[in-house]
Amino acid sequence: MLAQEVIRHKRDGLELPSAEIDHFVDGLTHGGWSDAQAASMAMAIFLNGMSQTEKVSLTRAMMNSGDVLKWGEAHLPGPVLDKHSTGGVGDKVSLPLAPILAACGAFVPMISGRGLGHTGGTLDKFDSIPGYQTAPSLERLRACLTEAGCAIIGQTGELAPADRRLYGIRDVTATVESIPLITASILSKKLAAGLQGLVMDVKTGNGAFAASLEMARALAQSLVEVAVGAGLPTRAWITDMNQVLGDSCGNALEMHEALALLKGEPVDARLLELTRVLCAELLCIGGIAVDFGAGLERVDAALRSGAALERFSRMVFALGGPADFAERPNQYLAAAPVRGDFVAPYAGWVSGVATRDIGLLLIELGGGRRQTSDRIDYRVGLTGVAGIGRKVAAGEVLAHIHAADAAGLALAQAQLAKSFTLSEAPVQTSPVLVEACRGGV
């Protein structure tokens, strides 16, 4: 079977039989397909889509391209659960969510990704911690899960290797926003992790891959249908990404904000609400909570008691990070050498945020990748980012800028001038939780 023939079939809009999809995935895994061929295939899928049957075949083939974890032999005294977000700007929910669930009695082997397109990556945030291993051996993963109840890592060489290669190709070939490719990428990793329950956070808005609500609904439905078809109980929430989630974006800066949430310190209300709801949904799926209200109570107790923070600390240490990281993050997270502010040019209400542009700004500052080989500056980003609906006076700070040099500071100030819209009258704010898709449970 020739790679170019498989590409041609999909280019011409034909439905691929499972044998051709298997050939594509095998070529990704073992090098039989070049990067150019894989990129062409990704673009053909992006332009022509895939049927439900094709999506299931692609997901299963990518899942089976490496090891599939089975937790039965570990005799874990709780359900194996996880959450995944389709990506946003400032989305650090995974950082507190995993240890919260662990403190409630679940086990969370979270296989996460790096930044993709304009969105930040969970692994990039953990790479800001000295010593933390985002690519441990399977033995270390199992040990961490047993000790801490959660492990936030990347794809090891053994888990869904086909997706790891395709993920990097999509990031630099403008093929990120494809429902079939997003579905297969996410679920191949989650199914390979041996989960018993999953919640999907599907972002919508100007900072999301699914910019329209219609696309977000289609993606949520695709994820739920394919996951449930593979035997994984799954729910999805469509959530708002028309502004930065929380008040920070940038890897080390988001780590600080996540730690504040775990410590019970004041944080952005939208970030806290979304974290609590997704945790409660998973506790219901896993049978730990009898209903949603009971799930929220378990979440709040885990935060109030410090148990979730303790689980986070255990996880960081088990994966090679400092034992006292949570207590002394300033000692370990590097700070940007240049600081400055972007201020409101006149009084008004924040009525709009060009969220995608802020994500792209982070890349320009060095906090994301233009190419897969780029090194990330974990120090740079924004804090104190104003949200929609906030009333500001002239000269009031709309964002604190953390840059590597004076040129980066000037770039950020110029870009942010185009990213915030102020109105003369109050504006109605949108809820962070838009709607649920619970067809899978």
Classified as helix, coil or strand, 349 is strand
| Residue 410 included in any domain | yes
Residue 214 CB neighbours (<10 A): 10
| Residue 430 included in any domain | no
Question: Pick the catalytic residue: 189, 217, 276, 402?
Answer: 189
Read off the pLDDT of residues 257-277 as tens digits, 9 standing for 90 and up.
999 999 999 999 999 999 999
Residue 421 a catalytic site member:
no
Same domain, 388 and 303: no
Read off the pLDDT of residues 64-87 as tens digits, 9 standing for 90 and up.
999 888 887 778 899 999 999 988
Residue 357 a catalytic site member:
no
* Of 63, 86, 102, the domain-final residue: 63
Question: Pick the catalytic residue: 175, 185, 222, 275?
Answer: 185
Question: Pick the catalytic residue: 59, 86, 94, 122?
Answer: 122
* Of 312, 330, 348, the domain-final residue: 330
Q: What is the mean pLDDT of residues 313-330?
A: 97
Same domain, 345 and 325: no
Does residue 370 register a pLDDT over 80?
no
Same domain, 252 and 172: yes
Cα separations in angstroms, 63 against 1, 20, 33, 168: 22, 16, 18, 17
Tell how strand 81-85 and strand 197-204 pair up: parallel
* The pLDDT of residue 441: 47
How many Å apart are CA 398 and CA 392, to the nearest integer?
8
Question: Pick the catalytic residue: 10, 23, 60, 84?
Answer: 84
Task: Specify the number of domains making up the chain.
Answer: 3
Same domain, 143 and 196: yes
* The pLDDT of residue 158: 77
* The pLDDT of residue 20: 98
The answer to whether the CB of 426 falls within 8 A of the CB of 350 is no
Read off the pLDDT of residues 83-141 as tens digits, 9 standing for 90 and up.
999 889 999 999 999 999 999 999 999 988 776 667 768 999 999 999 999 989 888 99
Percent of the chain past pLDDT 90, that is, above it, reads 81
Read off the pLDDT of residues 373-424 as tens digits, 9 standing for 90 and up.
678 999 999 999 999 999 999 999 999 999 999 999 999 999 999 999 999 9
Same domain, 177 and 306: yes
* Of 297, 330, 363, the domain-final residue: 330
Question: Pick the catalytic residue: 23, 65, 82, 240?
Answer: 82
Please give the mean pLDDT across all residues of the chain: 93
Question: Pick the catalytic residue: 10, 83, 270, 298?
Answer: 83
| Residue 439 included in any domain | no
* The pLDDT of residue 70: 86
Same domain, 77 and 59: no
Residue 203 a catalytic site member:
no
Question: Pick the catalytic residue: 170, 203, 314, 369?
Answer: 170
Residue 400 a catalytic site member:
no
Question: Pick the catalytic residue: 59, 85, 234, 355?
Answer: 85
Residue 370 a catalytic site member:
no
Residue ranges making up the domain that contains 40: 3-63
Cβ-based neighbours of 380, under 8 Å, separated by 6 or more? 250, 336, 362, 365, 366, 367, 402, 403, 404, 408
Question: Pick the catalytic residue: 10, 125, 164, 190?
Answer: 190
Query: CATH number for the domain including 408?
Result: 3.90.1170.30
How many Å apart are CA 339 and CA 412, to the nearest integer?
11
Residue 419 a catalytic site member:
no
Same domain, 187 and 125: yes
| Residue 435 included in any domain | no
Residue 55 a catalytic site member:
no
Same domain, 168 and 294: yes
Cβ-based neighbours of 81, under 8 Å, separated by 6 or more? 101, 106, 107, 108, 195, 196, 197, 198, 282, 285, 286
DSSP state of 71: -
Residue 170 a catalytic site member:
yes
Query: CATH number for the domain including 54?
Result: 1.20.970.10
* The pLDDT of residue 364: 93
Residue 122 a catalytic site member:
yes
* The pLDDT of residue 440: 44
| Residue 438 included in any domain | no
Same domain, 193 and 314: yes
* The pLDDT of residue 273: 98
* The pLDDT of residue 71: 86
Residue type, 386: A
3-state helix, strand, coil in the chain (%, to 5): 45, 15, 40
Residue type, 332: Y
The answer to whether the CB of 312 falls within 8 A of the CB of 96 is yes
* The pLDDT of residue 372: 66
Q: What is the DSSP string of 182-197?
A: HHHHHHHHHHHTT-SE
Same domain, 290 and 157: yes
Query: CATH number for the domain including 266?
Result: 3.40.1030.10
| Residue 441 included in any domain | no
Confidence of residue 177 (pLDDT cuts 50, 70, 90): confident
Of 406, 414, 409, 367, whose CA–CA distance to 90 is shortest? Answer: 367
Read off the pLDDT of residues 31-68 as tens digits, 9 standing for 90 and up.
999 999 999 999 999 999 999 899 999 999 999 999 88
Quote the strand ranges of 266-417, DSSP E: 338-343, 348-353, 381-383, 391-392, 397-403
| Residue 409 included in any domain | yes
Q: What is the mean pLDDT of residues 324-335?
A: 97
Read off the pLDDT of residues 143-168 as tens digits, 9 standing for 90 and up.
999 999 999 998 766 788 999 899 88
Cβ-based neighbours of 341, under 8 Å, separated by 6 or more? 397, 399, 400, 401
Percent of the chain past pLDDT 70, that is, above it, reads 97
